[in-house]
Structure 1
Amino acid sequence: MNTSRRHFLQTCSAIGAGFLLPGFSQASLLEKEPLCKISLAEWSLHKALFDGKLDHLDFAKTTKQEFGISGVEYVNQFFKDKAQDQSYLKEMKTRAEGEGVKSLLIMIDREGNLGDADEAKRTQAVENHYKWVEAAKFLGCHSIRVNAASSGTYEEQVERAADGLRRLSEFGDQHDINVIVENHGGLSSSGAWLSTVMKTVDNPRCGTLPDFGNFAIDRNQDIWYDRYQGVAELMPYAKAVSVKTHEFDKDNPHITYDRRFNKETDLVKMLAIVMASGYKGYYGIEYEGSELDEYAGIRKSKEALMSSFYTVFFGC
């Protein structure tokens, strides 16, 4: 590694992976404004959490002390019965703040389909998310991440998902919390479909969380949406970004690939798309590989992400 590259990566580590992007002043660089900030998705440690080797309450501490990362993205499955437990949430908040870690969002699963064809079930799903909006507000997060699962024709799913998301976003607005949708299977993994949903909702509180790897519309039939096109289509609405990683190419540090489906992601190409959109939020590492253990995989993901930043910005 040459001296300038090493210096850049060391500087990134010191200031939260921040560097000067096109359009920003030299003053922002001198002030060390963290323009490219790295966070960690809790799912990266799901094996340790499910096995009881890591307590959810220690997630923020582990993120900061083990990986030098100062932003966290919680997963509701790891405190699913605590959304309205004020003492537990207060402990989460106290521990995160004590480590100098910023709570960014909560990823919500298993609370019903926001685009359910049954209107009563759709309403129930919307209301099931209310407690998570309130928990996110208490913790100091900016968003909850939700899914846009639905059924029916292409157009029916647009309308049904938009209806649920619109209603939840209106509730979120009352608490200054965004409702952001991840491409997470089915039609939600179509950038064209999900961007149409965003336009239909037409609420500034409703946005997207583009995941670099979740573009399987139907894995059983091997139907995939082009991931680069999908991210480009979702970035205009993005309030967070998920840097999904699996295994790593030993000959190219910018390539991560999912052996299960023989799919690869070029991080340099992805970051170029994200940066071109003018995005200024966090880049959330979500490691799901199996060749490295979770801790080593997160470290490798951070290294690959920072190296890719360097390559995009400096072109080498």
Structure 2
Amino acid sequence: MSSNRNRRAFIRRVSALSLLAGAGGVLPASLISCVQGNKKQGSAAESDSLAAESGSAGELFFKISLAEWSLHRALRKGDLDNLGFPAKAKNEFGIDAVEYVNQFFMDKAKDKTYLGELKKRCDDLGVTSVRIMIDEEGDLGNVDEAARTKALENHYKWVEAAQFLGCTDIRVNARGEGPAEEVAAAAADGLGRLSTFAKDYNIAIIVENHGGYSSNGEWLAGVMKTVNDSNCGTLPDFGNFCIERTEPEEETIEAYMATKCLKDYDMYKGVKEMMPFAKGVSAKSYAFDNQGKETTIDYPKMMQIVKDAGYTSYVGIEYEGVGNISEDEGIRKTLELLKKTGAALS
């Protein structure tokens, strides 16, 4: 395998946000500036006025879940494990719906004893399992048909695990290398075939803007139109809109952290383009000011886009861990921000 291919594989394995876990959870300045640059395109005056309104959460137009990635540092350090995640969500944050990340129980997809224990804990707590986010199972947009089929088959076990846990869907990636049109066609094929398989399990297949072509809202919306399957949708993420990065000089986390975003996509435009197909929403958060406002994403503007699309299902908290606050505090701040923003819009 060539060095270039090795490097591309490394970049896929450790995407910009996944790398944060192993590097102490601190977002490099280049990533923050990329997100902040996008934010400037929003309407700050109108959003500031909306965000200033106070009040209890009341009846929100959406439901709130907690994405396991919000606790990636604790999980990687061993301070928390996947089985303990539902109790953490319910007992410490009052959140009764969870979204798993397969990286934290990668070898357990077919382990019914393990999955049974996880399901029992959720049932005992009154916690709903919403989805499993799937990584490291191959590229569903691989232009090589054999490799794409292998990736497709690798996802089958997670569809079955999701059904066992009572989830509604699994989140997958539409990655691939090659011209945009070819990757789009390949992704539509892979997603369409996986969606057909998952129908028998009553599990939907949803795609996140997660780097590369998929972080281009227009491209991903086009893939959805080609798939044209009600069992396949999107998971708009408020923060994943860097579509091209510099390559790291070597295959280390430190080298990757030094890379820069060469091209990013308007986050508000991207979310708006994906919302017609949304079966989930990921409320990404990075950093907060003293008033509890997210400093890189205009939350009132984002949530207005979500509401305007008629979306009423789960909005998952996904705190990335930037700055000096803990993961727990970041989750609480995101939860409070969602409640305040939602109350003002509901």
TM-score (norm 1): 0.86
1:299 paired residue among 332, 336, 342: 332
C-alpha distance in 1, partners of 2:184/2:75?
35
What's the secondary structure of 2:288's corresponding residue? strand
1:308 equivalenced with 2:341 (yes/no): yes
1:51 equivalenced with 2:84 (yes/no): no
Mapping 1:206-217, distance limit 5 Å: 206-217=232-243
1:231 equivalenced with 2:271 (yes/no): yes
What's the secondary structure of 2:135's corresponding residue? coil
Work out which structure has the larger RCO, using CA pairs closer than 8 Å and 6 or more positions apart in sequence: 2
Mapping 1:127-206, distance limit 5 Å: 127-206=153-232
C-alpha distance in 2, partners of 1:311/1:142?
28
Cα drift, residue 290 of structure 1? 2.5
Identity %: 55
1:290 equivalenced with 2:322 (yes/no): yes
1:202-252: CA deviations, max 9, x gaps? Answer: 11111000000001101334211000000000000000000000101225x
C-alpha distance in 1, partners of 2:112/2:96?
23
Q: Is the 8 A contact 2:62 2:311 kept in 1?
A: no
1:46-96: CA deviations, max 9, x gaps? Answer: 110110001210100000000000110000011100000001000010001
Which one-letter code corresponds to 1:294 in the other structure?
E
Aligned residues: 279
Mapping 1:91-110, distance limit 5 Å: 91-110=117-136
Cα drift, residue 5 of structure 1? 3.8
Higher mean Cα deviation, 102-111 or 145-154?
145-154
Q: Is the 8 A contact 2:129 2:165 kept in 1?
A: yes
Query: Equivalent residue for 1:82?
Result: 108
Structure 2 spans left out of the alignment, 5+ residues? 1-52, 247-260
1:238-279: CA deviations, max 9, x gaps? Answer: 00000000101225x33x24xxxxxx2100000000001000
2:90 paired residue among 64, 71, 78: 64
C-alpha distance in 2, partners of 1:247/1:194?
27
Query: Equivalent residue for 2:298?
Result: 266
What's the secondary structure of 1:136's corresponding residue? helix
Cα drift, residue 38 of structure 1? 0.5
TM-score (norm 2): 0.79
C-alpha distance in 2, partners of 1:268/1:209?
19
Which one-letter code corresponds to 1:196 in the other structure?
G
Cα drift, residue 174 of structure 1? 1.2
Normalized per residue, which structure has more strand? 1
Cα drift, residue 312 of structure 1? 2.8
Structure 1 spans left out of the alignment, 5+ residues? 13-17, 20-34, 258-263
1:21-64: CA deviations, max 9, x gaps? Answer: xxxxxxxxxxxxxx421100000001101100012101000000
Q: Is the 8 A contact 2:319 2:334 kept in 1?
A: yes
C-alpha distance in 2, partners of 1:308/1:5?
9
Query: Equivalent residue for 2:145?
Result: 119
What's the secondary structure of 1:248's corresponding residue? coil
Which one-letter code corresponds to 1:38 in the other structure?
I
Query: Equivalent residue for 1:278?
Result: 310
C-alpha distance in 1, partners of 2:147/2:181?
19
Query: Equivalent residue for 2:38?
Result: none
What's the secondary structure of 2:130's corresponding residue? strand
Off by >2 Å, runs of 4+ in structure 1: 219-222, 310-313
Q: Is the 8 A contact 2:70 2:318 kept in 1?
A: yes
Which one-letter code corresponds to 2:262 in the other structure?
D
